Amino acid sequence: LRYHVLDAILYIVKTGSQWRMLPGEFAPWRAAHYYFRQWREEGRIRCILTTTCRSARRREGRHGEPSALIIDCQSVPSTRVGGISSFDAYKKVNGRKRHIAVDTQGLLWGVVVHAAGDHEAQWALQLLGPVASRLSRVETVFADQAYRGLEEKIENDLDWTLQVVESE
């Protein structure tokens, strides 16, 4: 059952489908959703993500842990059903923001979803804190101007250098 559940979770992640629309060849949607929630609370989903990223890096001949991360945010429209949402006045989007940390290979090391009206900078440490507890090699984080002013805070809290990249 666990492999069928994991396949179902990966299908949902890849397609963005609703749990109730899970095709019949996977575990029943209620079971898949139950285990997803349980595994997420236990930290198993994060463990699977970390293990997968480390393996992918090693297959490319790289160290399992990155020495640099890139953080950014994307506003996406959504309804109020199923979670928080608000209006991002700058991007003119009513919905949520996906706040991610990736390495230079584009592998996902952390994600936080929050209301679109919240500024990126206030969520940077909530995103990076859990990542820092899993990665010991990171020295530098690259970010856009939205994160300007956090250099000292990230240096003090995580002992990482935040490098704000100028847009061209």
pLDDT given at position 86: 58
Q: Taking a C-beta distance cutoff of 8 angstroms, is the pair 9, 36 a contact?
A: yes
What's the rounded Cα separation, in Å, for the pair 77 and 90?
Answer: 14
pLDDT-based confidence at 41, cuts 50/70/90?
A: very high
Return the number of other C-beta atoms located less than 10 Å from residue 119's C-beta: 14
**How many structural domains does the chain have?**
2
What is the tens place of the pLDDT at every residue in 51-78? 999 999 999 999 999 999 999 988 777 7
Give percent above pLDDT 70 in the chain.
Answer: 87
Co-location of 139 and 113 in the same domain: yes
Judged on CB neighbours under 10 Å (0-12, 13-18, 19+), 2 is: exposed
Co-location of 134 and 155 in the same domain: yes
Residue 38: domain span? 2-59
What is the tens place of the pLDDT at every residue in 103-124? 999 999 999 887 776 677 788 9
- Over residues 5-31, the mean pLDDT reads 93
Rg (CA), the chain: 17
What's the CATH code of the domain at 109?
3.30.420.10
Co-location of 116 and 141 in the same domain: yes
Given a cut of 80, is residue 93 above it in pLDDT? no
Angle at alpha carbon of residue 116, lines to 91 and 123, rounded to 5°: 115
Co-location of 111 and 37 in the same domain: no
Tokens representing residue 14 in the block: 């890849």
Helix 151-158, helix 124-134: angle, nearest 10: 30
Final residue before a domain boundary, out of 39, 59, 79: 59
